[in-house]
């Protein structure tokens, strides 16, 4: 298995350890998180659109962000790239009058995918997992969404690491599909659908890796590969923990009477739900395949051991009568007439060869070889 793949997950887990909340702090206190770059301000990207127009650009500060009115004809999508600066997050909280516990969930990188319906907005957080060609492995980060009338705030955990939303941006720029004709709830669906679609890409990558490992196990059951398999199993567990709760989030969006979700968007959310179920089933089947590969490894090792033991047993069995004959004539008694025979040595060697050939023929007849 690719070592870069394992290293990428180990680095990802190490980074997430720095985002746990300190104990003993008041609820909603953003300064209670250990961030690696506390003073690093997030980049804020704006996409503003309606059916007739489209604008995008970089927002230099929170003060320049706009709070759209409910009767606005334009949708505002602010993508906040990084959640490392508590002061900046507090400014956004005050700007949009967000609940402190909501901001606490955004700052915590170890949140379980969840959905909270506040009075004036929806909040949901998911895991964005994608294949990164630079590291030749999987990359994961938490993405949080705040949905209000004509507004989406998306918060990405890691600063300047990229995302999976470029296809959504391209469709908005080119005015393809329904995105610019629909409201903010359709944009939320589109972003969630893109995240789920990349889960399929990850599972395809995982499946290819497991197929390679399985072939290696059949030809060369190296004990080092077993260690890699168990590391791979831990990553599948992480995938399952990321995808399984997302099913509940989609169900709540589709079935609950959320004020931000219109009836026109719910059929699309049901499609995302179906895709999520397919990902979950794929993860479960992949875990079964992984267990099967471990069984193949154990069987290969056992078969190899049995083959070795069979060869050693045959050799030992053949040499037992030969050792008896040579031991018998190795005794130093004077009254052993064969010891003084002129051709006694050659006779004994011939008997040994004949016994060995006879035993080999017998073992082959019994199909023990």
How far apart CA 303 and CA 295 sit, in angstroms, is: 12
How far apart CA 301 and CA 314 sit, in angstroms, is: 20
Q: What is the pTM of this model?
A: 0.76
pLDDT value, residue 24: 52
pLDDT 10s digits, 151-167? 999 999 887 778 889 99
Length of the chain: 369
CA torsion through residues 81, 130, 2, 241, sign: positive
pLDDT exceeds cutoff 60 at 14: no
Phi (first) and psi of residue 126, to 5 degrees: -140, 170
pLDDT 10s digits, 243-288? 888 988 998 888 876 778 888 999 999 999 999 999 999 888 888 8
pLDDT exceeds cutoff 60 at 3: no
DSSP 114-161: EEEE-SS-EEEEEEEEEEETTTTEEEEEEEEEEEETTEEEEEESSTT-
Q: 142 forms bridges with which residues in the sheet?
A: 127
pLDDT exceeds cutoff 90 at 237: no
- Any idea which residue has 């890699």 for tokens? 228
pLDDT 10s digits, 298-314? 887 777 788 788 888 88
pLDDT value, residue 57: 93
pLDDT value, residue 13: 45
How far apart CA 29 and CA 44 sit, in angstroms, is: 22
How far apart CA 114 and CA 246 sit, in angstroms, is: 7
What contacts 30, CB < 8 A, 6 or more positions away?
A: 86, 89, 90, 103, 104, 107
Q: Average pLDDT in the 10-18 region?
A: 45
- Any idea which residue has 């903010």 for tokens? 184
- The domains located in the chain, with CATH, are 3-298 (3.30.460.20), 308-365 (1.20.58.340)
pLDDT value, residue 120: 85
pLDDT value, residue 16: 47
Q: Average pLDDT in the 65-77 region?
A: 90
pLDDT exceeds cutoff 50 at 202: yes
Q: Average pLDDT in the 51-59 region?
A: 91
pLDDT value, residue 21: 57
pLDDT exceeds cutoff 80 at 94: yes
Q: In which band, very low, low, confident or very high, does the pLDDT at 191 lie, cut at 50, 70 and 90? A: very high
pLDDT value, residue 20: 54
pLDDT exceeds cutoff 60 at 33: no
SS3 at position 33: strand
pLDDT exceeds cutoff 70 at 28: no
Closest C-alpha to 195, from 168, 222, 233: 168
Q: 124 forms bridges with which residues in the sheet?
A: 115, 145
């Amino acid at each position: 298995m690719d070592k870069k793949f394992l290293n990428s997950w180990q680095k990802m887990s190490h980074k997430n350890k720095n985002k746990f909340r300190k104990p003993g702090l008041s609820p909603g206190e953003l300064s209670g998180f250990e961030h690696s770059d506390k003073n690093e301000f997030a980049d804020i990207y704006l996409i503003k659109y309606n059916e007739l127009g489209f604008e995008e650009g970089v927002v230099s500060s929170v003060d320049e962000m706009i709070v759209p009115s409910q009767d606005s004809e334009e949708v505002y999508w602010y993508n906040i790239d990084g959640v490392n600066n508590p002061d900046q997050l507090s400014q956004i909280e005050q700007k949009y009058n967000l609940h402190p516990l909501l901001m606490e969930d955004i700052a915590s990188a170890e949140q379980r995918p969840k959905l909270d319906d506040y009075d004036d907005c929806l909040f949901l957080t998911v895991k964005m997992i994608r294949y990164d060609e630079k590291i030749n492995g999987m990359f994961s980060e938490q993405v949080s969404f705040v949905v209000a009338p004509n507004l989406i705030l998306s918060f990405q955990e890691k600063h300047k690491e990229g995302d999976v939303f470029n296809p959504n941006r391209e469709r908005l720029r080119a005015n393809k599909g329904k995105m610019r004709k629909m409201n903010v709830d359709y944009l939320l669906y589109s972003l969630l659908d893109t995240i789920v679609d990349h889960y399929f890409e990850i599972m395809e990558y995982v499946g290819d890796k497991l197929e390679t490992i399985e072939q290696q196990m059949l030809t060369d059951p190296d004990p080092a590969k077993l260690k890699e398999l168990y590391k791979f199993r831990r990553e599948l567990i992480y995938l399952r923990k990321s995808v399984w709760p997302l099913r509940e989030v989609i169900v709540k969006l589709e079935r609950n009477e959320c004020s931000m979700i219109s009836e026109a968007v719910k059929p699309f959310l049901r499609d995302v739900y179906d895709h999520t179920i397919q990902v979950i089933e794929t993860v479960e089947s992949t875990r079964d395949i992984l267990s099967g590969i471990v069984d193949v490894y154990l069987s290969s090792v056992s078969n190899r051991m049995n083959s070795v033991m069979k060869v050693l047993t045959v050799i030992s069995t053949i040499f037992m009568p030969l050792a008896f004959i040579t031991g018998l004539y190795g005794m130093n008694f004077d009254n052993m007439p064969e010891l003084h025979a002129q051709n006694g040595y050659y006779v004994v060697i011939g008997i040994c060869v004949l016994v060995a050939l006879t035993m080999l023929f017998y073992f082959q007849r019994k199909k023990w070889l």
